[in-house]
C-alpha cells in the first residue's frame, strides 16, 4: 500500500509497503534512513528507538501502516542545520560509543529524557535508558555523556 507520513519534518511517501512490516523496516529499507538500528526486532534492545508523534517508541514494534499520517523523528533528524544535538556531541566527547550499534537508540532516548527532565538524577537516567542495551561500553561512558549533555 501507499503510505504518507512526515519524517524529520519532511512529508514522505512510500509505495508497495507491506502492512506486516515494521516502521523500522520502512525507515531503513524504503526511506533510506539507516540510522535506526535493527538488533532484536522484539522490543528488547531499543536500538530502533524513534519519536512517533513526539513519543519515543521501538520502531520495530510499530506496524508501518500505523505510521500513516503521523510524524516520525529519527536520530538523523536531531541535528539542526548541520549542528549536532547536545546529546550527540556529548556522546562523542565522552567516548560513549564503541561499535555504535546501540548509539542511535540511546541518543533518542536520552534526548527525550532531557526534554522532559532537564536535570536528571542518576536514577532517572538509568530508568530512562533501561530499554536500551549496549553490549560494548559497560554504560559508564554513556551515563557520563548524558550528565554532560544535561549540563549544557
Partner 1 sequence: MCTTYSVTWYDTTTWYDSEEIREVDFLRPSSMAEALAAKAERPDAVPIAGGTDVMVELNFDRTRPDALLDLTGIAELAEWSDTGDGGIRLGAGVSYTRIITELGQRLPGLAMASRTVGSPQIRNRGTVGGNLGAASPAGDTHPVLLATGASVELASTRGLRTVPAEEFYVGVKRSVLAPDELITAVLLPGTTAPQQFSKIGTRNAMVIAVCSFAIALHPEQAATGNSTVGTGIGSAGPTPLRATEAERFLTAELANADQWTSPRALDDSVRRRFGDLVAAAASPIDDVRGSAAYRRHALAVLARRTLGWAWWDYCLERTSRCA
| ∠ Cα 96 31 34 (to 5°) | 20
The single residue among 39, 41, 84, 144 that binds partner 1, judged by CB under 8 A, is 41
Which residue matches cell numbers 538509568?
Answer: 126
Q: Which does 145 bind (CB under 5 to 8 A by kind): ligand FAD, partner 1, ligand FES, none?
A: none
Q: Which three cell numbers stand for residue 103?
A: 548509539
Query: Which region, judged by CB under 6 A, interacts with ligand FES, from 3-11, 39-47, 81-89, 108-116?
Result: 39-47
117 binds ligand FES (CB under 6 A): no
Which positions touch ligand FES (CB under 6 A)? 38-41, 43-48, 58, 60, 97-102, 134-137
Amino acid at each position: 500500500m501507499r503510505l504518507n507520513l512526515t519524517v524529520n519534518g519532511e512529508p514522505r511517501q512510500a509505495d508497495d509497503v507491506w502492512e506486516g512490516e515494521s516502521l523500522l523496516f520502512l525507515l531503513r529499507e524504503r526511506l533510506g534512513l539507516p540510522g535506526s538500528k535493527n538488533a532484536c526486532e522484539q522490543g528488547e534492545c531499543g536500538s530502533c528507538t524513534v519519536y512517533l508523534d513526539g513519543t519515543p517508541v521501538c520502531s520495530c514494534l510499530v506496524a508501518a501502516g500505523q505510521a500513516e499520517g503521523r510524524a516520525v523523528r529519527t536520530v538523523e533528524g536531531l541535528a539542526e542545520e548541520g549542528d549536532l544535538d547536545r546529546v550527540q556531541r556529548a556522546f562523542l566527547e565522552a567516548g560513549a560509543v564503541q561499535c555504535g550499534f546501540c548509539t542511535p537508540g540511546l541518543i533518542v532516548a536520552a534526548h527525550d529524557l532531557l526534554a522532559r527532565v532537564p536535570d536528571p538524577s542518576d536514577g532517572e537516567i538509568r530508568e530512562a535508558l533501561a530499554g536500551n542495551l549496549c553490549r560494548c561500553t559497560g554504560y559508564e561512558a554513556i551515563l557520563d555523556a548524558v550528565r554532560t549533555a544535561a549540563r549544557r
